[in-house]
Structure 1
Amino acid sequence: MPKQYRIVAGRDLLHYTLAAFDACNEFAQTLVVISPDDNHFDARRFSGLRFAVRRCGGASRQASVYNGLGALAEFGARDGDWVLVHDAARPGITPALIRTLVETLKDDPVGGIMALPVADTLKRAAPKSDAASGVHIARTEARDGLWQAQTPQMFRIGMLRAAIERAQQDGHDLTDEASAIEWLGHAPRLVQGSLRNFKVTYPEDFALAEAILSRAAE
């Protein structure tokens, strides 16, 4: 089962993201972009929350975001409007974090992202030459000035669409929306995020999300 539909603290993982955005009346619409062949999504499981769904997901994050930007036009969104792109697998997002991002960036000429300064020591792995010997350290990387990107990432619709189109033309493989904006030569702003806004990636992450979300519901 796709992780966004796994039950955590009594609800689908996706529910927590939708609830956080639903609590923010600053938004005209919340759009859930899913794959055309997604057989797991059931709108009834998210009843009471404001959102729309479009089955326009692509083969990559880049394609899904691009298609989602196009779908927003159906709801009256214009190129000059702000859009926030968020990972469904980050259920720890809160209305307070969303509002901090919006308040910080609403007058910014470019936009920006939630992120955290890197606190851990970073190691560069050596090229793996022998599967039996495991992975070894090649060197330690300086962490000064490094931030770990999170979402939401907030940009103007027109600028983000143009940035993705330019990156596609240049054959650039995007890992997030900010990298597309950077590809145009802009410098997105970094806004302090939160450890609770982590991305559920590994099997053990579900237990951590369960602990965080269960406590928040108390």
Structure 2
Amino acid sequence: MEDSVQQKIIDFLQVGDLVVWILMVFSVVALTIVLLKLWQFSSLRAESLKTSQLALDDWRNGAREESLQKLDEKRPIDALVAYSMRSVLEAKSNVELIREEVERRAMNQLSQFRSFLRPLEIIATLSPLLGLLGTVLGMITAFQQMEGAGSQVDPSVLSGGIWQALLTTAVGLAVAIPVVTLQSWLERKVERIAHNMNDAVTQVFTSKEAKELVEKAAKEMLHAA
């Protein structure tokens, strides 16, 4: 049973020629990237807002130290929230400068989450085009065989050449469709992470606690001047 399945796979790859081999490599690369991204999102719990929301509740209630203790800074959103809170508490910089630094850190984090999504897009774009190229080359070969046979054309030979040519288009679409779907899903996850980051950090700076601390720091700087 296993031998017959293996033989069918070998025959399938031989019929598809080089184009099918390239598409098989594309599919392996795409699967590797998707698994890597899923592991990245899962290990960092990048979309999680549970601990950051608890910390923000304490922050709004004036419990500064408690809010920082509830944050898990291995998570990207929690790390940004923690940095924002500490910067506001220390009040060593202008609020606008703090927000710019938070934005810079957020962009770096999002850049890491978007890494390898571009290769997925390239695979999704090239796969059907490669499949179509294989079909065109196969059709050319089939018609060359028909021309060489002259008046002794065997319809079965022609139909066999056509289905072999169409095989590459089918494989190209079979690779491209799931890759496009998974790429869109991963990009949507990155968009949600970006939204959650922006929402959580904004809550730090718009809270009553932050405004009071900033005003206090501004007065101290004025008296010092």
TM-score (norm 1): 0.20
Decide which structure has the larger Cα Rg and report it.
Answer: 2
Higher RCO (C-alpha 8 Å, min separation 6): 2
Decide which structure has greater helix share: 2
TM-score, with structure 2 as normaliser:
0.20
